[in-house]
Amino acid sequence: MEMFPQEESIVFAEIILPLALPKVYTYSIPEELQETIQIGMRVEVQFGKNKLYAGLVKKIHTNNPGYQPKPLLSVLDKVPIVHEHHLKLWEWIAKYYGCTLGEVMHAALPAGLKLASETRVLLSQAFDEDFSVLTDKEYLIAEALTIQEELSIEEIRKILNQATVYPLINSLLFKRVIILKEELKLKYKPRTLAYIRFAEPYRSDPETLKSAFELVGRAKKQMDALLGFIQLSKKQPTIKKKELMEAVDVSSAQLKGLEKKGIFEIYKKEVSRISGYGKDVISNFELSAQQLKALLEIKQKLEEKNVVLLHGVTGSGKTQVYIDLMQEAIDEGKQVLYLLPEIGLTTQIIFRLQKVFGNKIAVYHSRLNNNERVELWHKTLEGMPIILGARSALFLPFNRLDLVIVDEEHDPSFKQQDPAPRYNARDTSIYLANQFGAKVLLGTATPSMESYINAKSGKYGLVEMMSRFGGINLPEIVIADAAEETRKKTMKSHFTSMLIEELKAALGRGEQAILFQNRRGYAPTVNCDTCGWTAACINCDVSLTLHKFAGNLRCHYCGYQTEAPKACNACGKTTIKVKGFGTEKIEDELKIFLPDAKIARMDWDSVRAKNSHQKIIGDFEDKLIDILVGTQMVTKGLDFDNVGLVGVLSADQLFYFPDFRANERAFQLLTQVSGRAGRRKTQGKVVIQAFNTKHPVLKEVITNDFPSFYEREEKERRNFLYPPFYRLIKITLKHKKRNFVEVGASIFANLLRKDLGSRVLGPAQPGINRVRTYYLMDIVVKLERKADILEKAKNVIREAGVEVKGRKGLTQIRINVDVDPY
Ligand code: ADP
Ligand code: ZN
Ligand code: ZN
């Protein structure tokens, strides 16, 4: 709390604006605002000629900047909405990931807390009210403005009953009838619902109700409503308008009639958008011996270390261990943050946690709308005990954070790709926890190399749960040799006979199956057998994927779509063939080979509609689906009790990513998807199809041999100077013209080499060298893990960026810096 009662000197504020600006801006604080303003509050400021923004107060001081700053215009909050710890976190993110504070602010605050500059229209002082020069429509607006001081664009649209109003506004401006006003508009509107109660005197004196009945008289519907209301009010303290309308089948107009007669009052009440959990809370399960042991070890190790890695095989019961730890934290009145990858945030996990914690848990994910996000922001400020959320939930304004759980800590989606800040939520949450003196538990069946190496070296504590809950064996994994079956001609399209037989057997036993193919759509390539033409994206350097059900070709990088061709675009022949296969094709063909099976698909295309993700999961749980075909979505965190078989269509695909993490990813994906089999009753089975059956990772997955995988991988990373032994910074340069990006990248790399020498690799064209009409060039910097060299490298990169952008013709070049790229 800062106050400046009698100081003579002028008081200034440093303001963060939600823009990619390199620094914070100084404004003076008008005297009347000096008592209310605090660090972490939003203020209205003018920036540029006539733009207004809501900025965030970072600092308040009396050091004269040596020029006359603009005054800030108003204070928007009554209490700070961002606390000290988070401001520090913002600064750390900006510094570590090489972006601006404004970019962090932009990512951290929900849209509803960022104010938009909205144009409003006023009557001009210069207008002499000579309406004769106006057209009919202009007249309507001018007249409206003489009654109502100002109008929004939206209101003008309504008055004119037309969508395009800018030409008319332009003309009014030209005729000097109106002026424009830039005004900040608060986006957040609480949600209200209409309720009904008796008007006075009926509300306080039931004796008077007799006269209400007389007033209603023979209006039948009104009588129904009155009686219905009395009925309902015996059962519940408040009655929603909608409830009454449904209970007695009366219309809104009929209720209005009762309001007019002075019998009812219709009033608005603010209601929560974060749907509360209405059902009973059930008590915890009893922990198994393994869970109990793990719990004790975690607590013990967290006394010495800030971070513990819980390595528990799939189905070992990690969630129950998390639950016990969370319970302890909230019993002490503390807050818990539970982070999950976005697509792991399914009803399954939400329900499991709600069953235990009821209304003490709130969920923050991408499907919330703006208002709901703002509401959750305030709930967190008020001390909501548990927040379950994806990446960005770590920006919520906790004040008593005690524990962070990062579930599926190995998941690449914890890293934000675009736009900046390109932060890793797992790593960032560790910094966040440190701010609060809170502890972090990383949990997974397939630890990331980073976390495991930290655990091995003693930086993190390590706790293991190596068997499944209930003593069930981990699934039996077998390899189906696709090369051999191709030779023997026993393949059925993309299915080995082994996989088909196992599918039939599983369904025969009344079990369900999951099939994993890491590609959506029908086929990733469409080309012409006659002339070799390939359907390619017009904006990107990639082939278009055929989506047979939608009847179109789509680019998976920019979203470009075009109708599926019936003949070749180049030679006109109908010799069009598809290559490769995605989930649609698997679903399609499976229907031929297994005509009686009920098959469904889960990938981005099939879950796009709101709630369809949950519906597919629900239908599978209810056994309305026999076989679920899907992309990575089916590999993450799902817990079904009747899956006897998991099939992987093409393991080879996973090994050939041009990335040093390819093996790690493949190990994780294969182990995770296998982990969906046989979780509850009997041991499950997994069939992995591959052409290259000799790949070392396959053997390690089959034998569940994480130690061997880890040792081999660790050696390679060490030998080839890869993370986590070295730190990478990836710089991507983009330009609409190829030679510009090439020239820019080569200048950039040379500038870096001056200071960083052989640590600089490239520039090189990435595998996909044009995306969304921009040509790309990559430069990679490999650094020893020392803080000073990292600092230096970031400075060199920043300066090189300024230098390159300053070159003639290169001002339009875009430079993305990605620290610890994924
Ligand atoms: P993980 O997250 O380690 O893969 P889960 O936490 O999903 O494993 O647990 C696997 C299954 O075992 C779940 O269906 C869960 O309900 C059940 N389970 C775990 N712990 C217990 C327990 N203590 N009592 C009863 N059921 C449990
Ligand atoms: Zn052709
Ligand atoms: Zn594209």
Nearest CA to 556 among 238, 383, 772, 261?
Answer: 772
> Measured in angstroms, how far is the CA atom of residue 614 from the centroid of ligand 1?
20
Average pLDDT value for residue range 464-483: 94
Instruction: Quote the Cα angle for 740-745-750, to 5°.
Output: 135
When pLDDT is cut at 50, 70 and 90, the band that residue 271 belongs to is low
Q: Which ligand approaches the C-alpha of residue 557 most closely?
A: 3
Q: Whose CA is nearest to atom 6 of ligand 1?
A: 317
| pLDDT for position 247 | 87
Answer yes or no: is pLDDT of 2 > 70.
no
Higher per-residue confidence, 212 vs 112: 212
User: In this structure, what token pair is assigned to residue 687?
Assistant: 């069939």
Mutation pick for ligand 1 pocket among 320, 324, 636, 673 (CB with most ligand atoms within 8 Å): 320
Average pLDDT value for residue range 786-797: 93
Answer yes or no: is pLDDT of 317 > 80.
yes
> Measured in angstroms, how far is the CA atom of residue 682 from the centroid of ligand 1?
14
> Measured in angstroms, how far is the CA atom of residue 610 from the centroid of ligand 2?
40
Secondary structure (DSSP) of 130-157: -GGGS-HHHHHHHHHHHHSSEEEHHHHH
- Residue 270 to residue 763: CA distance in whole angstroms: 57
| pLDDT for position 162 | 79
Q: Which of 4-8, 185-189, 620-624, 746-750 has the lowest mean pLDDT?
A: 4-8
> Measured in angstroms, how far is the CA atom of residue 576 from the centroid of ligand 2?
7
The residue type at 467: S
Q: Is the distance from CB of 689 to CB of 480 less than 8 angstroms?
A: yes
Answer yes or no: is pLDDT of 272 > 80.
no
pTM over 0.85: no
Other beta carbons within 10 angstroms of residue 153's beta carbon come to: 15
| pLDDT for position 188 | 57
Q: Whose CA is nearest to atom 18 of ligand 1?
A: 317
Q: What is the largest CA-CA distance in the chain?
A: 94
> Measured in angstroms, how far is the CA atom of residue 538 from the centroid of ligand 3?
6
Answer yes or no: is pLDDT of 182 > 80.
no
Q: Whose CA is nearest to atom 14 of ligand 1?
A: 639
> pLDDT digits over 599-642, tens only?
999 999 888 876 788 889 999 999 999 999 999 999 887 889 99
> Measured in angstroms, how far is the CA atom of residue 775 from the centroid of ligand 2?
27
312 Cα nearest atom in ligand 1: 3
Mutation pick for ligand 1 pocket among 352, 441, 639 (CB with most ligand atoms within 8 Å): 639
> Measured in angstroms, how far is the CA atom of residue 320 from the centroid of ligand 1?
6
Average pLDDT value for residue range 66-83: 89
320 Cα nearest atom in ligand 1: 20
Mutation pick for ligand 1 pocket among 469, 473, 642, 674 (CB with most ligand atoms within 8 Å): 469
83 alpha-carbon distance from chain centroid: 23
Ramachandran region, residue 150 (left: φ > 0; alpha: ψ -120 to 50; beta: rest): beta
Answer yes or no: is pLDDT of 6 > 70.
no
288 Cα nearest atom in ligand 1: 23
Q: Give the highest mean pLDDT range of 10-24, 97-111, 140-154, 482-496.
A: 482-496
- Residue 619 to residue 635: CA distance in whole angstroms: 17
Q: Which ligand approaches the C-alpha of residue 637 most closely?
A: 1
Q: Which ligand approaches the C-alpha of residue 569 most closely?
A: 2
When pLDDT is cut at 50, 70 and 90, the band that residue 190 belongs to is low
What does each C-alpha distance from 692 to 386, 400, 461 come to in angstroms?
Answer: 46, 52, 37
Mean pLDDT of the chain: 90
| pLDDT for position 461 | 98
Mutation pick for ligand 1 pocket among 292, 318, 319 (CB with most ligand atoms within 8 Å): 319
| pLDDT for position 178 | 85
Q: Whose CA is nearest to atom 20 of ligand 1?
A: 317
Secondary structure (DSSP) of 94-126: HHHTT--HHHHHHHHS-GGGSPEEEEEEEE-TT
318 Cα nearest atom in ligand 1: 3
> pLDDT digits over 403-420, tens only?
999 999 999 999 999 999
User: In this structure, what token pair is assigned to residue 806?
Assistant: 């300053």
Answer yes or no: is pLDDT of 186 > 80.
no
> Measured in angstroms, how far is the CA atom of residue 114 from the centroid of ligand 1?
41
Average pLDDT value for residue range 97-109: 93
Answer yes or no: is pLDDT of 657 > 90.
no
User: In this structure, what token pair is assigned to residue 93?
Assistant: 């993110």
> Measured in angstroms, how far is the CA atom of residue 431 from the centroid of ligand 2?
56
Average pLDDT value for residue range 206-227: 88
| pLDDT for position 166 | 73
Answer yes or no: is pLDDT of 588 > 90.
yes
Answer yes or no: is pLDDT of 528 > 90.
yes
Average pLDDT value for residue range 99-111: 91
Residue with tokens 């969370």: 326
> pLDDT digits over 549-575, tens only?
999 999 999 889 999 999 999 999 999
> Measured in angstroms, how far is the CA atom of residue 554 from the centroid of ligand 3?
8
- What stretches of 581-634 adopt beta strand conformation (E)? 599-602, 627-630
Higher per-residue confidence, 183 vs 424: 424
Residues with CB under 5 A from ligand 2 (ion): 528, 530-531, 533, 568, 570-571
When pLDDT is cut at 50, 70 and 90, the band that residue 1 belongs to is very low
Share of the chain above pLDDT 70, in %: 95
> Measured in angstroms, how far is the CA atom of residue 579 from the centroid of ligand 3?
19
When pLDDT is cut at 50, 70 and 90, the band that residue 53 belongs to is confident
| Residues within a 6 A CB radius of ligand 1 | 285-288, 291, 312, 314-320, 469, 639, 679-680
> Measured in angstroms, how far is the CA atom of residue 618 from the centroid of ligand 1?
18
Q: Whose CA is nearest to atom 17 of ligand 1?
A: 317
407 Cα nearest atom in ligand 1: 2
When pLDDT is cut at 50, 70 and 90, the band that residue 7 belongs to is very low
| pLDDT for position 768 | 93
Instruction: Quote the Cα angle for 381-387-388, to 5°.
Output: 155
Higher per-residue confidence, 169 vs 407: 407
